[in-house]
Structure 1
Amino acid sequence: MRNTARWAAALGLTATAVLGPLTHAALAAPSVAPASLYAPSALVLTVGHGDSPATATPERAVTLTCAPTASGTHPAAPEACAELRLAGGDFDALTASDDVVCTREYRPVVVTADGVWQGKRVSYQRTFANDCVKNASLTSVFAF
């Protein structure tokens, strides 16, 4: 019986010596949660007139943040974020109505998007013949 008590005491002390510092380290770890569990999605969108993105002067610009929630200065941020998520962040996949008839007026409109979509750098630019073609070709992402 004496040996059993000694072994029990020895095992208890060994467990305390080995596991004690580990328990203390776990308790001493900071309890601050990570800033975000989402990959960042924040964009600056611009619309301007000109022949190319290099020569166009941006007339309007908005910010669009989609993770963790839709926000920014975009007037329809929740809808724009939903459309971008549905398209997988591919701006070329954003298409609106095909049944819109536009004039053949040539007054080029340039749209750009720069920033980060789900943690990956994004830089998009496209030139349309006029505002009507832009509005018929794109969804609410560039409707501001």
Structure 2
Amino acid sequence: MRNTARWATTLALTATAVCGPLTGAALAGPAGAPASLYAPSALVLTLGRGDSAAVATPQRAVTLSCAPTASGTHPAAALACAELRGAGGDLEALTARDDVSCTKEYDPVVVTVDGVWQGKRVSYERTFGNECVKNSYGMSVFTF
């Protein structure tokens, strides 16, 4: 139960820090005009050990903002944003690469993604068999 509470607290604090400033962004310009021509794209990606986010032990959390430019604490923000744009923001479309061979060792890791992609709410969770399998999906989005 303590891990679940810690995981939830970590996710909530990170999401608030990244997405909180976005809530008023559409009204920030003069006379109600948008402050930016770009729809907001800001995500919080988390990684934990376990079969699901509810029981996972938190390991890492990174932020990724893709509009108007790539930024955040993600180690390859520009590549991750380009990959997400190529997939139309569909995290399910990221598939395993053929050039990676992973062992069949079962040491589950769970990735969650929460935030906003081009103005639309995103909530995603996926459990991978091990770290190698996670890193084989896409090129850079899940490698943090």
Q: Which letter does structure 1 place at the counterpart of 2:134?
A: K
Q: Which letter does structure 2 place at the counterpart of 1:79?
A: L
- 1: CA distance, partners of 2:84 / 2:66: 9
Q: Which residue of 2 aligns with 1:99?
A: 99
Whether contact under 8 Å (1:64, 1:73) holds in the other structure is yes
Q: Which residue of 2 aligns with 1:117?
A: 117
Q: Which residue of 1 aligns with 2:43?
A: 43
Q: CA deviation at 1:102?
A: 1.4
Q: Which letter does structure 1 place at the counterpart of 2:48?
A: G
Q: Is 1:60 aligned to 2:55, yes or no?
A: no
Q: Which letter does structure 2 place at the counterpart of 1:38?
A: Y
Whether contact under 8 Å (2:95, 2:138) holds in the other structure is yes
> Any idea what the Cα deviations from partners look like across 1:80-136, whole Å, max 9, x if unmatched?
000000000000111242132211111001011000000000000100110111111
Q: Which letter does structure 2 place at the counterpart of 1:136?
A: S
- 2: CA distance, partners of 1:32 / 1:121: 22
- 2: CA distance, partners of 1:74 / 1:105: 27
Q: Which residue of 2 aligns with 1:136?
A: 136
- 1: CA distance, partners of 2:128 / 2:139: 14
If the length of structure 2 is used for normalisation, what is the TM-score? 0.74
Gaps of 5+ in 2: 1-29
- 1: CA distance, partners of 2:135 / 2:34: 40
* Superposed counterparts of 1:15-54, under 5 Å: 34-54=34-54
Count of matched residue positions in the alignment of Structure 1 and Structure 2: 115
Q: Which letter does structure 2 place at the counterpart of 1:54?
A: A
Q: CA deviation at 1:138?
A: 3.3
Structure whose alpha-carbon radius of gyration is higher = 1
Q: CA deviation at 1:33?
A: 6.8
If the length of structure 1 is used for normalisation, what is the TM-score? 0.74
- 1: CA distance, partners of 2:129 / 2:47: 13
- 2: CA distance, partners of 1:47 / 1:80: 16
Whether contact under 8 Å (2:43, 2:63) holds in the other structure is yes
> Any idea what the Cα deviations from partners look like across 1:37-95, whole Å, max 9, x if unmatched?
11100000011110112111221110000011111111111100000000000001112
